Chains A and B, each alone.
Chain A
Amino acid sequence: MQLMLTQPSIEISTNVEIRAVFDPLVIRLGEKSTYRVTINAVSDSIRWPEDIYAPGELTLKQSARGQTLQPAGAVLKPMTTINHHVAATAAGDFTIPEFKVKVYGRNVTVPAARLTVSTNPPIATTDVPRLFLEIAETNIYSGQPVKVRVLMPATQGNLMQALQQVQLNGDGILLDQSAVRQRIQQMEFSGRVGPTYIYESTLIPLVAGRIDVTAQAFTAGNQFSGSIVIQGGAVIQGGSPQYLLLDSDSVQMNVQPLPRTGELPGFNGAIGQFTLEPPQLSTNRVRVGEPVKLLVMFRTDGDIKRLLAPPPPAVTNWQMFPPVAEGGLMLTATANAISSAQTFSYTLIPLTNNMTATPAIPFSYFDPAQKKYVDLTIPAVTIKVLSGGATAEAQAIAQVAAAATNERKLKLSELATTPGRTASLVPLQLQSGFLWGQFVPIFGFTGLWLWDRRRRFYELHPQLLVRKRALRALRRERVELSKAAQAGDSARFAALAVSTMRIGSAPHFPAAPRALVGRDVLELLDESDRNGQSGEVVRKIFSTTDAAQFSTAAMDAADLLAVRTELDRVLDRLEEKLK
């Protein structure tokens, strides 16, 4: 509780003050100036426009934005600074007019600022601190750590001040904060030797491509954070710091991706140049089931802090544990540089006693100078494995377990021995034949349904079926009748005439057609037809055929052909009655 109360509050001022200046105010044509706007507000509350109106001769490019919390009595005052790099294409006096920005949701005016660009400017009376960014290598590979330095030369009179909130801006970079070192040492800048503040760290690009990196920092007077080494004479600025936001020109890095081809086994991201000391075992005689340590030392001329030791290989006779760093970094000074070394230990447990050496541990690194992967496999070390207390069964189980872990690792399968069943890649659902084929059962079942429906209908109305059949038979007989008439076969004509009339009349009587006589047919005719010519024709035909049937004399049906027309009329009547 007490701890929380002792934190000073951040003043969110209702009275927002903005200051806009060019630094320096006067430049030579071709030089750059910094358009610096300082606002006493929290950075997130400021909505800075993307484009600021400026005279056409000036080019503005936003270069840095930062916030400090400056103590002001019992409160902390936020100060946000936004820098723009300004270049001019012509000499003259240029003014960026006042404009409005939103701070804490309210419109606030940024005052106008004036810059003088001259071909012959007077000698500057004040010395402006400048920031430089230096990257040891700008053509590197992604994941390759590279040394980076942010430099600030002392101003006039060797006046030096600290830098706070040093920050590198760029897409896809990672700065190793634990590798930061700061010092002040004598360096030469612009033909002048003097103290220079150096902020050094390691940068790792995470993307391949072109990366523009800039540095920014606040000057902080004599408020150094962390330890600092000072070499040579330097005058540390006293008093309260000014917290001026400085930024450097951008440095372009061209980052290549690591080549995929040529990658060697055991590669785990190590980039640089490494050497391997001969590995050592903690003991060269061990029993089955007892652990033994394998010590491996890697060296490099650069920083070895971020080296990952290779993982142990999957072997069935050994149980191997992941490597552990042993001891701290070892630094050795050579003629031109400092080399570093790190020892890793692997714990191994033999599972059987038929080995004579530890397994080799694959390791490789990518050498950016040679642009290729270099093998640095940790070689096998001779060891004597004695039989231990574990039974053969336990040993076998341990081996199987080790083998099972190996199998889980993915690898390319063997070739198939046979091609298998041929099938089309296009699924049936997309084949038009299959879709059209669905119409077959549709039509089939529809037809079946219709047929069943018809059948049921005729089962309910049998009389209709009888009539229909009789009608069909009648029409068939009429065709035969017509043929007989055309052939002049009067006997056949007579017989067919009788059978046709019987067939046409039968549905009206509960009798078979053969049982019907002429009177039955006449009953079906109208009164007028019965008494008229139609009736005569019926009687004549029936009497002729009856006479032929029931007497021994031959049928005299020659004149029956003449009544064909009337007969047709009778048959039409009968047909009408059947419909």
Chain B
Amino acid sequence: MISLRSLQLLICLGALLICRNDAGANSGTNFFKLGTAAYEQKDFPHATKMFATSAASEPAAGTFQNLGNAEWQDGRTAEAILAWERAACLKPFDRNAENNLKFARESAQLEAPELTWCEIAASWLPANVWAWLACGSFWLAVATMMLPGVLRWRRSATQQAIVALCLGVFLLTLPTNYGSWTRSQIGFVLKRETPLRLTPTAEAEAVTKLAAGEPGRVLRERGNYLLIRTRRTTGWVERDDFALITPR
């Protein structure tokens, strides 16, 4: 029996949690609104700052899309592309981010990252959906296989069908989950004329120079350097010059 006092404590705790969440949501939304107002007044640097703050506290697809727009108007191509890629990652159904990326890449003559088929499939839905699908379908299959025996239910064709379906869904989600994982290693060069170094050292020979917004895939890390593979070649860049779509 739960005592009255315990019940009161539970209610207070719940209310506190809700208030805290609301406060957080309110601050993120406030920055979003401030950023929108600044953008409409063409104060793009301030808009960028507001949207970035909102995205830092509450990352959301709409926030990243607007951040990308503000960065683009402010002349920062790489940051804009990164923000739109993050928006597309969180909400693949939203065509705005995708169109903006196409527009930006065409305008700036940049290439899109080369995606494997797993990664292309993974981009159809948000990454978390694939994870929940895989998790849910697998455990549902396990439960459907185990529970009838435990609960002394009669085994039926429906249960077998459910198990087959769930296992099928699980197997189908394996490549997409793999694609989500490999896609998290994709990033973009932030600064223009970033040297792609032959070795992870400060005085390394530059293999080539990368344009801001050029995509790369992280293969390894060493100290302050990342080994990335671009479309043409492989080399090392400094951590500060490269940003991943999914920050670690």
A residues bordering B, Cβ < 8 Å?
Answer: 410-430, 434, 438, 441, 445, 448-449, 451-452
Chain A residues with CB below 8 A from B184, complex form: 426-427, 430
Known interface pairs A419-B29, A425-B90, A441-B142; 15 further A-B residue pairs with C-beta atoms within 8 A, sorted by A's residue number: A410-B103, A411-B103, A415-B36, A415-B39, A419-B54, A419-B60, A419-B61, A419-B62, A423-B60, A425-B86, A427-B131, A429-B130, A429-B181, A430-B246, A445-B143
Given known contacts A412-B72, A412-B100, A441-B142, is B131 in contact with A425 (CB within 8 Å)?
no
| Contact indicator A423/B59 (Cβ below 8 Å) | yes
List 5 interface pairs A-B (beta carbons < 8 Å), by A numbering.
Answer: A412-B103, A419-B54, A422-B25, A427-B246, A428-B131
Given known contacts A413-B100, A415-B69, A445-B142, is B132 in contact with A428 (CB within 8 Å)?
yes
Tell me if B245 is interfacial: C-beta within 8 Å of chain A.
yes
| Contact indicator B58/A428 (Cβ below 8 Å) | no
**Chain A: which residue is nearest B39 at the CB level?**
A415
Q: Return the contact of A425 from the options B54, B69, B181, B245 (Cβ within 8 A).
A: B245
| Contact indicator B181/A427 (Cβ below 8 Å) | yes
Q: Return the contact of A412 from the options B69, B91, B146, B246 (Cβ within 8 A).
A: B69
Tell me if B177 is interfacial: C-beta within 8 Å of chain A.
yes
Chain A residues with CB below 8 A from B66, complex form: 415-416
Chain B residues with CB below 8 A from A412, complex form: 69, 72, 100, 103
Chain B residues with CB below 8 A from A420, complex form: 60-63, 90-91
Chain B residues with CB below 8 A from A438, complex form: 135
Q: Return the contact of B146 from the options A415, A418, A427, A449 (Cβ within 8 A).
A: A449
Tell me if B150 is interfacial: C-beta within 8 Å of chain A.
yes
| Contact indicator A423/B72 (Cβ below 8 Å) | no
| Contact indicator A448/B150 (Cβ below 8 Å) | yes
* A412→B101 CA distance, assembly (Å): 9
Chain B residues with CB below 8 A from A418, complex form: 32, 62
| Contact indicator B128/A413 (Cβ below 8 Å) | no
Chain B CB within 10 A, most for which of A410, A423, A429: A429
Q: Return the contact of A410 from the options B36, B97, B102 (Cβ within 8 A).
A: B102
Q: Return the contact of B181 from the options A430, A441, A449, A452 (Cβ within 8 A).
A: A430
**Chain A: which residue is nearest B128 at the CB level?**
A428
* A421→B63 CA distance, assembly (Å): 10
Tell me if B89 is interfacial: C-beta within 8 Å of chain A.
yes
| Contact indicator A421/B246 (Cβ below 8 Å) | no
CB under 8 Å from chain A, chain B span 33-47: 36, 39
Smallest distance from the beta carbon of B99 to chain A beta carbons, Å?
6
Tell me if B111 is interfacial: C-beta within 8 Å of chain A.
no
Tell me if B189 is interfacial: C-beta within 8 Å of chain A.
no
Q: Return the contact of B128 from the options A416, A427, A445 (Cβ within 8 A).
A: A427
**Chain B: which residue is nearest A411 at the CB level?**
B103
* A237→B169 CA distance, assembly (Å): 86
**Chain A: which residue is nearest B40 at the CB level?**
A415
* A413→B96 CA distance, assembly (Å): 6
**Chain B: which residue is nearest A416 at the CB level?**
B62
| Contact indicator A419/B63 (Cβ below 8 Å) | yes
| Contact indicator A419/B32 (Cβ below 8 Å) | yes
Chain B CB within 10 A, most for which of A413, A419, A452: A419
Tell me if B247 is interfacial: C-beta within 8 Å of chain A.
yes
**Chain A: which residue is nearest B86 at the CB level?**
A425
**Chain B: which residue is nearest A414 at the CB level?**
B96
CB under 8 Å from chain A, chain B span 51-74: 54, 58-63, 65-66, 69, 72
* A445→B139 CA distance, assembly (Å): 9
Chain B residues with CB below 8 A from A430, complex form: 181, 184, 246
Among all A-B residue pairs, the 3 with the closest Cβ atoms: A427-B127, A416-B62, A428-B131
Chain A residues with CB below 8 A from B72, complex form: 412
Tell me if B180 is interfacial: C-beta within 8 Å of chain A.
yes
Given known contacts A415-B69, A419-B28, A420-B91, is B106 in contact with A425 (CB within 8 Å)?
no
Q: Return the contact of A428 from the options B36, B63, B89, B127 (Cβ within 8 A).
A: B127
* A421→B60 CA distance, assembly (Å): 6
**Chain B: which residue is nearest A428 at the CB level?**
B131
Q: Return the contact of A434 from the options B131, B146, B247 (Cβ within 8 A).
A: B131
Chain B residues with CB below 8 A from A417, complex form: 62
CB under 8 Å from chain A, chain B span 95-134: 96-97, 99-100, 102-103, 106, 126-128, 130-132
